[in-house]
């Protein structure tokens, strides 16, 4: 499973990748991209540095001793990042029946308003 958190913000610069939760031969891989440094003035008038970035988490991946070495290589990192993006795009979003019915009802109301039916 891939978890994505776009537009993250932190006052510490994120690592390009992190391998964590190593347990029973599994681990999570966090991939950060689009890391940008920004500056803003705080309530005391002091300039503070913060970072924005996009985070992809590959959950319960098979762990191996060479994984960090693989991720530290730019090509290996890009392979993992592209894999995460592709897998995230393929994930099925679970929507409850009640949410689907509610969305359908709202769509019918919106269509009625567009065509002028009340």
Residue 97 maps to a domain: no
Residue 67 maps to a domain: yes
Number of structural domains, the chain?
A: 1
Burial class (CB in 10 A: 0-12, 13-18, 19+), 44: exposed
- Give the number of residues written for the chain: 118
Q: Which residues contact 9 (CB under 8 A, 6 or more apart)?
A: 50, 51, 52
Answer yes or no: are the C-beta atoms of 70 and 27 closer than 8 Å: no
Residue 20 maps to a domain: yes
Residue 114 maps to a domain: no
User: Domain range spanning residue 68?
Assistant: 2-92
What value, to the nearest 5°, has the Cα angle with vertex 58 and ends 10 and 63? 115
Report whether pLDDT(42) > 60.
yes
DSSP state of 93: P
Residue 60 maps to a domain: yes
Residue 101 maps to a domain: no
What's the pTM? Answer: 0.73
pLDDT for res 90: 84
Nearest of 88, 78, 86 to residue 33 by alpha carbon: 78
The model's pLDDT over 68-89, given as tens digits with 9 standing for 90+, comes to 999 999 999 999 999 999 998 8
Report whether pLDDT(92) > 70.
no
Provide the pLDDT confidence category of residue 117 given band limits of 50, 70 and 90.
low
């Amino acid at each position: 499973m891939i978890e994505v958190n776009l537009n993250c913000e932190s006052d510490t610069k994120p690592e390009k990748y992190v391998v964590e939760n190593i347990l029973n031969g599994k681990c999570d891989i966090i991939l950060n991209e689009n890391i940008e440094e920004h500056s803003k003035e705080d309530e005391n008038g002091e300039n503070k540095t913060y970072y924005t970035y996009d985070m992809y988490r590959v959950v319960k991946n098979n762990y191996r001793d060479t994984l960090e070495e693989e991720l530290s290589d730019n090509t290996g990192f890009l392979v993992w990042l592209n894999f995460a993006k592709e897998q995230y795009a393929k994930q099925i979003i679970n929507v409850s029946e009640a949410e689907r019915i509610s969305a359908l009802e709202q769509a019918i109301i919106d269509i009625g308003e567009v065509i002028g039916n009340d």
